[in-house]
Every structure is written in C-alpha cells, then in structure tokens.
Chain A
C-alpha cells in the first residue's frame, strides 16, 4: 500500500499538498474527501467544529478518512502505518522523503528560516481572513438562506488588506519569490490561500500589480495546467450555491457556521 493523500480541493491546504505532490511527480493515491457532501450535506451531520475555519469531516462516506486521523480533518496523509495531519507537516514530510529540489525547502539555514517564518506567520494572518470570504459570500448564505450584512465582509477584507501589506513589505519585497529567485513552499502555501477570495469574487490581485506578477511567476513555476486543475473547484464555487439543502440540516448548522465566522 503506497502513499495516500486525503484531500478536498475546495480546501486551501489540500491544494498546496496536491500541487506540490503532482509537480514533483510524487506517486500517491488521491483519496477524495468531499467535506460538504460527505459530512455537511450528507446524511451524517458534521461533528461540532472547534477549530476556526475547517469543518471536521466526521464519519464520512470514504471510511478511511474518518479513521486515519484522530483530528478528523483534511488534509491527511497515510504512508503505510504512518498517518499525519497538518498541511505544513505533510509538505515537509513529502519534501524530505522524496528529496524534492532544494529550493522548495532550502538547505541553507537562513533561507530555510525564511520559509519557516512565512509558514508560521501565514496561519494567523493570511489564513485568518482569506477563508472567511468564502464563508461570508457563499457558504453561510447557502446554509442560512440569507446574505450577511456587508460590514462583515468589509471587516474581513480590511484584515486581509493589512495582512497583504505585511506580506509585500516583509516577505515578498522586491524579490521574485519569498526566498529570492526561486519558488519555495512558502509561495505555494500563500498562493492557494489567496485564491480562495478570488474564487468567490473578491479579487485581491486586481489592484496589486506586484502581487499579480508574483502570482504569475508561481503559476508558471508549478505549471499553469496543474495550477488551474487544482483550482477548478474553487473557481466554480458559485455552482455550490445552487445545491438544495435539507431544511433541517440548515437549521442545525446555521448557528454553528455563524460562530465559526467569529
């Protein structure tokens, strides 16, 4: 039994792992977990969410996903008997095990530190606000039946704006990529997160030419076709709005979702 990656491409961390594995030709079995179909839209309701952005998969149609990770989240990795959660941990594990090219996680300790620094900062900054755009514009209206007041989105966009300013000032600066002339895990993790607001119609690249240039470089570095394939779902997220949801499920989930937004 080879490497298995449990992923839902609607999820940003899942996309970074998917792109990384594919662009480096790492052989793996794609175990598709559909967060919304299996646990949220499916017959089995999701376990109460305790972490900020991601719903737990709970018992899911693909049994493997529920069993392999005690934390019950995607992304998850299974390599023989070894199971692993957390996007950063999975990316680092793959880069080491499969000896991917040095630039992804450089052996130079200062450059490596720059990647670590970004990966750490990313969690509480870009990732604090970017995912909320999807919740506010698509998911919560889907489940509660009504849109949220515009101040909610504005607040989130302001927070994201602040983070983007810091991103440009501290991490990207005048370089081609975060660590310099080559792409690394830092750029990959950043870009997938920023595609979330793009997918729901909040194009944060629109009036940020330097970021837009960086995005183009990242897409080319991983391969444009792969990049767009990975982002197909999120870029067509509006289709999700047309799904009919069981009213009882709606009632059950609405307060949970509102809480998650905070």
Chain B
C-alpha cells in the first residue's frame, strides 16, 4: 500500500490511511467508540460553578441520549480536540462526547470511518452531516449556536486577523509544537529510548523561532491576539502550546508576556474547564508503552519518526 507523508494530526501526527484495524478476539477492546468518559464529564459539569465570560451553565439536559443530537468525536490527548471541547463546553453547546482513543487505534475502525473517512479526530456528526478539521468544526459551532461575537468577530478586519492566525499556525505553532512533543516524549515512549540530543535541541530551537514570531507579529502588546477579548485564535494557540509543555518543555517560564496571555485565556474560558481538558495530556508522562495497542506501536513509530526527520 503506498503511503506517503501525510499531515500532522493532534497527538500523533499523521494517521496514514492504512486499512482499518480491527480488534478481533480481544473482547474488551471491541472497536467501538467509548462512552465511559461521558458520565464523569457529566458529573463534573453538574458540580461546577460557572465563572468567566462563558455565561451560565445549563444543567442536565445537555447530554441527552438522543441519537439525533450533535456528536463530537474527540480524544483530549489531541490539541485540536481540546480546542473543540473547550469551545463547546464554554459556550454550553449541547453535545454527546464520543471518545475515540487514539492509543487504541479507535480512529482506524470501520465504525469511526463512517463518521470521518479521513480517519482523524476531531470529527463532528450533526444528524447526517459530518465534518472534519478542527477549524471548520469550531466555525460551524460558532455559527450554528450563535456564540458571542468576540470568538469570531463580524468586524471585517478583526475576522481577517483570526483567519490569518488560524492559517499561519498550522505549519508554525502547531507544526513545531507537535514536533517537539514527538521528539521529547512520544517517540522515546514508542522506541524505548530518547532521540539524539541534537534532534531535541533542533526541535526546541525551531519552536522558539515561531514563538518569537507569535509574540512579535500576533500578540504584540495586546491582551489577546485580536483586540480585547478572547477569540478562536487564542484558544487554538494555547491548546497547541500545551502539547510541548506536557512533554516537559516549560516554554512559559522564560516568556512572561506569553505566561500572562495564557492566564487571561484560561480565565476567559474558565480555569477549571481548561484544566479538566488538559488533565490527560499533562499526565501523559505517566503513560507507558504497554498502554498502546501492540499492533499499532510499530506503525505509529514509523509514522512519527518520518515527521521529525
């Protein structure tokens, strides 16, 4: 099967379009998207007070069992999934959380393929309408649920600034942040040994170049990327920066302006929600290789090594 270089995606980098993986006799690891997490999320949501700009909480009915409601297919280890999750929760958008565990290869199952033939998370299903790509999903949600204007301003120039950032970030903040995460954490996890220090240093240096660009061009002296309020640009930026942070590179330490901006963004979405969304990735250090389905380990290893070379 021909397999070329494909895109970085979330936690993993490329999910190459190989034939869908089936978990056969395993029993427990039946290839279905999990629902266990939903209950925990529901309970936490009910218990939490609602600070920040995101308004008052609607309780209970938001996670109905209706099959015709909005479904979001997510793995919170993935940066774009976190952006979608935080945005939806922060704006009280009712949805069913469909967990797709990348480490178990659930994004490669036939079932998930029906939702997204590109086999990537995040993915959205709204009745018969399916959608991939986090930026498209965020904008769809913003429009459908008429979220507050500051998320994606109707002002022509402000909107253009959000578009500009969301486009630039793919190859830059997202690209370099992912690369460092892979180099520092994920690849060593899969291969059982660290990468040569020059590789990690190189990836760190590349990330710092784009961080400088981010501060100089996009943030400058403003409280947020666009004007005085949080937008999709800030949300997408911050969840991406948490990935290298999770691998042990504390990029906020020597960048006070960035650290301040981070604090503002967290407050704007709700500190508790932000922390909850990042719980898994911040504990990723504790993941051991045996948590990853063995038939996937080799495949992931090959994919990821290509991305950092």
Chain A interface residues toward B at CB < 8 A = 50-52, 70-71, 82, 84-90, 92-93, 96-97, 109-110, 112-114, 116-117, 119-121, 123-125, 128-129, 155-163, 165-166, 169-170, 262
> 20 A-B residue contacts at CB 8 Å?
A71-B213, A85-B164, A89-B160, A92-B160, A96-B156, A97-B156, A110-B129, A112-B140, A117-B131, A119-B136, A121-B7, A123-B167, A123-B171, A128-B5, A128-B6, A158-B2, A159-B4, A161-B4, A162-B2, A163-B4
CB-CB under 8 A from A86, the residues of chain B are 163-164, 167-168
* Min distance, Cβ A260 to any Cβ of chain B, angstroms: 12
CB-based contact A162/B136 at 8 Å:
no
CB-based contact B2/A116 at 8 Å:
no
Is residue B62 within 8 Å, beta carbon to beta carbon, of the partner chain? no
Having A70-B217, A161-B2, A162-B4, one finds 16 other A-B pairs with CB under 8 Å, namely A51-B172, A70-B216, A71-B217, A86-B164, A86-B168, A88-B167, A96-B159, A97-B156, A116-B135, A116-B136, A120-B135, A120-B170, A123-B167, A123-B170, A157-B4, A170-B132
* Chain A at the B interface: SS class: helix
CB-CB under 8 A from A159, the residues of chain B are 4-6
CB-based contact B163/A120 at 8 Å:
no
CB-based contact A170/B118 at 8 Å:
yes
CB-CB under 8 A from B217, the residues of chain A are 70-71
CB-CB under 8 A from A117, the residues of chain B are 131-133, 136
CB-CB under 8 A from B131, the residues of chain A are 113-114, 117
* Min distance, Cβ A228 to any Cβ of chain B, angstroms: 28
* Min distance, Cβ A233 to any Cβ of chain B, angstroms: 24
Bound together, the chains give a CA A166 to CA B164 distance in angstroms of: 26
CB-CB under 8 A from B58, the residues of chain A are none
- Which of B117, B143, B164, B170 lies in contact with A124, CB distance below 8 A? B170
CB-based contact A162/B135 at 8 Å:
no
* Min distance, Cβ B160 to any Cβ of chain A, angstroms: 4
CB-CB under 8 A from B16, the residues of chain A are 162
* Min distance, Cβ A189 to any Cβ of chain B, angstroms: 11
Bound together, the chains give a CA A233 to CA B140 distance in angstroms of: 38
CB-based contact A92/B132 at 8 Å:
no
Contact code string B1-23 (vs A, CB < 8 Å = 1, else 0): 01111111100000011000000
Bound together, the chains give a CA A82 to CA B216 distance in angstroms of: 17
CB-CB under 8 A from A97, the residues of chain B are 156
CB-CB under 8 A from A92, the residues of chain B are 159-160, 163
Q: Which residue of A lies closest to B170 (CB)?
A: A123
Is residue B228 within 8 Å, beta carbon to beta carbon, of the partner chain? no
Q: Which residue of A lies closest to B220 (CB)?
A: A70
CB-based contact B6/A124 at 8 Å:
yes
* Min distance, Cβ A85 to any Cβ of chain B, angstroms: 6
Q: Known contacts A87-B167, A89-B163, A116-B139; decide if A109 and B144 are in contact (CB<8 Å).
A: yes
Bound together, the chains give a CA A55 to CA B117 distance in angstroms of: 34
Is residue B193 within 8 Å, beta carbon to beta carbon, of the partner chain? no
Bound together, the chains give a CA A120 to CA B163 distance in angstroms of: 11
* Min distance, Cβ B29 to any Cβ of chain A, angstroms: 27
CB-based contact B156/A50 at 8 Å:
no
Is residue B206 within 8 Å, beta carbon to beta carbon, of the partner chain? yes
Q: Which residue of B lies closest to A120 (CB)?
A: B133
